[in-house]
Amino acid sequence: MICSNEVSLEPCSCWEGYKAEATANGVICVGIYVFKTMPCNQIKEPRCECSKEANGILTDKVGSHCAKYEEVLLFIFGFVGVHSQNFVEDYCWRDYNGEIPHDALKCGTDRAKKAIYVGQVLYENKLIPGKIHENDANIHFEFYRAYTANETIKILCVRHPERFEWIQVKYYEVFHMNNKHLFLGGYEKGYDTYIGRAKSHGELTVGKVICSPTNCIRLTTIENGSWYDHDEFEILTYNPDAVLSHNPFDMDDGQTFVPYLLLFLMIVMLLVILFLILRRC
């Protein structure tokens, strides 16, 4: 008899551009051209929610982002076409290795008044949201019991925090929130996974809310190696049409004057260089 430690990849069906690979947590689909993973046999595509400002979708090594493309014509001693791009990124899940990104969404606070963030981890072919503490390389999540993981972790990062709103609800009301866009924070076949938060053990902590096609269950959170459920909590929603606080130095804001100022300075610099060259001649 010949024994083998190889894991069969046959039951794992992947999207185009992905291939099945065996990991410590099982078989997953790994991107061939992008640094992205997803569970096997995934049917529905992840949503890409964009604001009205965006007019395209950009895919890079981080993932998929909403984008806004603008064309600027520059006339310098003739007709010179210059094509510039301002990218409008509403949110994304970044790889997490223990360092909190500058644009990570603060979702709560611990007993020391330090920020708590929301992440997601790949576990048993599911993307499960959980909490990430500041200065902690681990994610704490619940899947029938409390778990802690320190690999295959993503952290939620946002471009405009004002587009994210926490709404107070009871667990049985979530299923009927048709007038709000509930923010999807994970993937489990046959269920929708949302993000909630509640006050517990002196913290404003975050966890997951699972909804089946007929009802939703209570928010579950983790504290000191145990999991707890909550009848009342706040659930995370996303409003792509929220009014943004204007920052003139925001390079991703379509209303900013900074790119035009930089363009003007570049023209002045080119004119100075041209003047010096002609003077030498």
pLDDT digits (tens, 9 = 90+) for 133-167: 998 999 999 999 999 999 999 999 998 899 999 99
- Give the residue carrying structure tokens 């576990």: 123
Whether the CB-CB separation of 208 and 195 falls below 8 Å is answered with yes
Confidence at residue 31, expressed as pLDDT on a 0 to 100 scale: 79
Pick from 153, 144, 146: nearest CA to 118: 153
Whether the predicted pLDDT of 249 surpasses 80: no
- Does position 203 have pLDDT exceeding 50, yes or no? yes
Strands (E), the chain: 18-23, 26-31, 37-38, 56-59, 64-75, 79-86, 91-95, 106-109, 115-123, 126-133, 139-142, 146-149, 153-158, 164-170, 192-200, 203-211, 219-223, 226-230, 232-238
The pLDDT value recorded for residue 271 is: 87
Average pLDDT over residues 24-51: 71
Distance, CA of 233 to CA of 199 (rounded, Å): 8
Dump pLDDT digits (tens) for 118-139: 999 999 888 999 999 998 999 9
The residue-averaged pLDDT of 252-256 equals 47
Q: Which pLDDT tens digit goes with each residue over 101-110?
A: 999 999 999 9
State the alpha helices, DSSP H only, in the chain.
258-280
pLDDT in tens, 263-274: 888 888 888 888
> How many Å apart are CA 139 and CA 243, to the nearest integer?
32
Range of lowest pLDDT (38-52, 75-89, 177-191, 258-272):
75-89
Residue 204 has pLDDT above 90, yes or no: yes
Do the bridges between strand 64-75 and strand 79-86 make them parallel or antiparallel, or are there none, so unpaired? antiparallel
Compute the chain's Rg from CA coordinates.
23
| pLDDT value of residue 240 | 84
Q: Is the distance from CB of 214 to CB of 190 less than 8 angstroms?
A: no
Please write the tens of the pLDDT for every residue from 167-197.
Answer: 999 999 998 888 889 999 999 989 999 999 9
Please report the pLDDT score of residue 281 as a whole number.
Answer: 54
The pLDDT assigned to 65 comes to: 57
Place of tokens 């007019």: 55
Residue 50, amino acid = C
User: Exposed, middle or buried: residue 276 (CB in 10 Å: 0-12, 13-18, 19+)?
Assistant: exposed
> Which amino acid appears at position 201 of this protein?
H
**CB neighbour class for 184 (10 Å; exposed up to 12, middle 13-18, buried from 19):** middle
CB 58 within 8 A of CB 64: yes
Instruction: Compute the distance between CA of residue 129 and CA of residue 108 in angstroms, rounded to an integer.
Output: 14
Residue ranges of domains in the chain: 9-45, 91-238
Asked if residues 86 and 254 have their Cβ atoms less than 8 Å apart, the reply is: yes
Tell me how long the chain is: 281
- pTM (2 d.p.): 0.58
How confident is the model at residue 253, as a pLDDT? 45
pLDDT recorded at residue 57: 59
- Mean per-residue pLDDT over the chain, rounded: 78
Looking at residue 157, its pLDDT comes to 94
Residues of the chain with pLDDT > 90, as a percent, come to 42
Closest CA to 50 of 64, 62, 63, 66: 66
Q: How confident is the model at residue 55 (pLDDT cuts 50, 70, 90)?
A: low
Is 56 a residue whose pLDDT tops 70? no
Mean pLDDT to the nearest integer, 82-87: 35
Distance CA 281, CA 276 (A): 9
